[in-house]
Amino acid sequence: KRKLIVLTDPGQDQAAAILMMLGAPDAFEVLGLVATAGNIDLRHTVANCLKLLELAGRPDIPVVAGCPRPMTRDLVTAVHVHGPTGLDGPDLPEPSIQASPVHGVDFIIETLRRAQPHTVTICSLSPLTNLAMALVKAPDIAPRIHEIVAMAGAYFEVGNITPSAEFNVYVDPEAARIVLDAGIPTTLLPLDVTHKMLSTRTRLEAMRALGNRCGPATAEMLEFSESFDLQKYGWEGAPLHGPCVPTFMLDQTIFGGRQVNVSVELAGTLTQGMTVADWWGITDRPKNAFWIRDGDPYRYYALLLDCLGRLP
């Protein structure tokens, strides 16, 4: 069973990812949710994490608040996609639990130092601020991490917050660079693959038909965030980003990619936050990430539905 620290700024697609993790208790033990400033400010991402755990009936999982803004920049949010609460759509239950008082950065450090080396996976659904801060504060944690699996970046599918940058990297490019340079085994699930995972009508109907609490709530959340993406892309369904992370951990055969160098642009006036993936090995820059480019949407949604169906 994989032990997970989840970095997240929910966000409807991230809600689906978190619920998916909770719906696979034989595969995952979620050690804690580190709320990140990203899609919306930290106060809301903390509240949204708490609401999701309440919805899933898992108030035993700690929620900790991380940094209120990126390492060096002002926060850019995506409320235009996710709504004024960051998680608009269904009426979610008010949480009976509170965030724990430890800071997100310290939670990452302490959890990794306490655990046996190589037993904890960092799942990032959000900007990488808190992991980068933890690596700066406590470099000894790097070799203890089993693996990082992150929804971040874009290369062949270019950008979503700017023409050249994906949101999670754009918000805190310095953090992404620190994490990618830390020498930790890392898998990136960029827009190149998430744009193939479209939440079509039929797929959302199947979620709703699960008839439990979590399936229909997820469908309602995704319908909300879809309305922005459907207009933007004109596709039949919106890309579903976050659940690529748990899906990859559950069944890697659903995806295809290769080990490449990924470098983050920090300075470009048009390309800030761009993830330059050296797919053809043109440079001798060290290969620092497994870059996923392909994925099977049918098996992806089948696994997502299966996990959601196991929840209350």
User: Which residues participate in catalysis according to the annotation?
Assistant: 241
Helices (H) and strands (E) in the chain, counts: 12, 13
**How many residues at the interface with ligand BDR, by CB under 6 A?**
14
d(CA 174, CA 308): 35
Least Å distance, CB 179 to ligand BDR, is 15
β-partners of residue 63 are: 33
Tell me which DSSP letter residue 252 carries: G
Tell me which DSSP letter residue 166 carries: -
Residue 81 binding ligand BDR, by CB under 6 A: yes
Helix axes 297-309, 201-208, angle to 10 degrees: 20
Residue 13 binding ligand BDR, by CB under 6 A: yes
Residue 221 binding ligand BDR, by CB under 6 A: no
Which is closer to ligand BDR, CB of 229 or CB of 278?
Answer: 229
**Of positions 23, 37, 39, 67, contacts ligand BDR by CB under 6 A:** 39
**Of positions 28, 155, 167, 290, contacts ligand BDR by CB under 6 A:** 167
Least Å distance, CB 83 to ligand BDR, is 11
Does the bond joining 11 to the residue before it have cis omega, within 30 degrees of 0? yes
Q: For residue 32, what are the contacts with CB-CB under 8 A and spacing of at least 6?
A: 5, 6, 61, 62, 63, 64, 107, 111
Binding mask 248-287 for ligand BDR (x = CB under 6 A): ----------------------------------------
Least Å distance, CB 284 to ligand BDR, is 30
Least Å distance, CB 76 to ligand BDR, is 10
d(CA 127, CA 153): 10
Which listed range, 52-60, 85-93, 166-174, 198-206, lies at the site for ligand BDR (CB under 6 A)?
A: 166-174
Residue 241 binding ligand BDR, by CB under 6 A: yes
Which is closer to ligand BDR, CB of 39 or CB of 186?
Answer: 39
Residue 151 binding ligand BDR, by CB under 6 A: yes
Q: Dig out the tokens for 107 from the structure.
A: 């939670």
d(CA 64, CA 166): 25
Residue nearest to ligand BDR (CB): 167
Which is closer to ligand BDR, CB of 39 or CB of 218?
Answer: 39
Q: Which among 149, 143, 148 is positioned nearest to 113, based on CA atoms?
A: 143
Q: DSSP 3-state assignment of 269?
A: coil
**Of positions 5, 6, 11, 175, contacts ligand BDR by CB under 6 A:** 11
Cα 210–Cα 214–Cα 219 angle in degrees, nearest 5: 75
Give the CB-side neighbour count of residue 100, counting CA atoms within 13 A.
Answer: 16
Least Å distance, CB 286 to ligand BDR, is 25
- Torsions phi, psi for 294 (to 5 deg): -125, 155
Least Å distance, CB 81 to ligand BDR, is 6
| Residues contributing to the site for ligand BDR (CB under 6 A) | 11, 13-14, 39, 78, 81, 125, 151, 160, 166-168, 241-242
